[in-house]
Amino acid sequence: MTMHEITDATVSADRIPASGPKPAWRFVWAHGWGQNRTAMAALAQTFAAFGEHILIDFPGFGDAPPPTEAWGTAEYADWAARFIAADFPDGLPLVWIGHSFGCRVGLQLAARHPALVARLCLIAGAGLPRRRSALEKVRISGKVYTYKTLRKLAPLLGIDTDQLRERFGSADYRNAGAMRGVLTRVVNEDLSEIARQVRCPVRLIYGSDDTETPPEIGERLAELIPDARLTILDGLDHYTVLGQGRHQVARRLRDFLGERK
C-alpha cells in the first residue's frame, strides 16, 4: 500500500504490477460509497496481464482521511486527475473501472479531463435521479418534511437529534460521520449533462436485481452517453455483481478491452 499527498488530499492505494512483458493499458479501480480499495481487488487481479493496476481509496474512505471541505463528484474527479497525471506519466491509455460512487467520479473525470481517460467501465453506476412512483415520492417527501420539522423543534421538545437521524436517515447517512456533507452533495447531483459530455467508449454493467442503482439508470445513461453499451446480468444485485458475478463482469470487460476504436 502506498500513501502520498496530492495537494489537498492524501492518496491511499494498492498496486498490482503488470504480469505481461508489454502492458497495453493502465487501470484505476474506483470503489463505491462506504467501501475501500479492497472492494474490487479480486476482479482487478484477473487483469494483471493487461497492464498495471491501482486500487484507490477515495478521500474519506479506507485509509484516506476525508477532504477538508464537503466535496462533490467534480472535486473528486479533479483530485483523481491530479493523481493520474502525477502517477502515470508514460501516456499509456487509461481505463477507469468504477462501482456505484466510483462511476459518478468516473463520469466527471471523463467529461472534465477527457485527455486522461481512454475508456470507462461503469459497474452499477449511479449519478442520475431515481425514477419513483407518485406514491413513493409522496412517502419520501413526507418523511423528509417530518425529519426537518422535528430537527428544528428538537431543542424545544428535548428531542435527541442523533435519535432522529437513526430513525429517519438512510444507512449511508447514519454511518457517514465526517462525510455527511459529502454524501448530501453527492446524492443530490444529477449528472445527466455530464454524461452527455463523455466522448470515450463506455461499458455499463448492471445486475438485474439491483435496488440501489436499478438497471433503468443504466438504460438512461446509455441514451445520454454517445458511445455507450449496456449489459444487464441476470440474478445479480448491487454487491453480488462484484462477488459471485465478478467472472461475468470480467468477461464483459475483456470484450470491451478487445474492441477496436
Q: What is the pLDDT of residue 87?
A: 76
Average pLDDT, the chain: 85
Q: What is the pLDDT of residue 3?
A: 44
Q: What is the pLDDT of residue 148?
A: 65
Q: What is the pLDDT along the chain (261 residues), one digit of tens a residue?
A: 444 444 455 668 888 888 767 777 899 999 999 999 999 999 999 898 888 899 999 999 999 999 999 999 999 999 999 988 887 766 788 999 999 999 999 999 999 999 999 999 999 999 999 765 556 645 656 555 565 665 666 666 666 666 655 665 566 666 677 898 999 999 999 999 999 999 999 999 999 999 999 999 999 999 999 999 999 999 999 999 999 999 999 999 999 998 755
Considering the entire predicted model, what is its pTM? 0.84
For domain 2-129+190-258, give the fold: Rossmann fold (3.40.50)
Q: What is the pLDDT of residue 42?
A: 92
Q: How many C-beta atoms surround the C-beta of residue 132 within 10 A?
A: 11
Q: What is the pLDDT of residue 102?
A: 97
Closest CA to 207 of 130, 106, 99: 99
Domain ranges of the chain: 2-129+190-258, 134-179
Task: Report CA-CA distances (Å) from 83 to 77, 110, 141, 156, 193.
Answer: 10, 14, 39, 48, 25
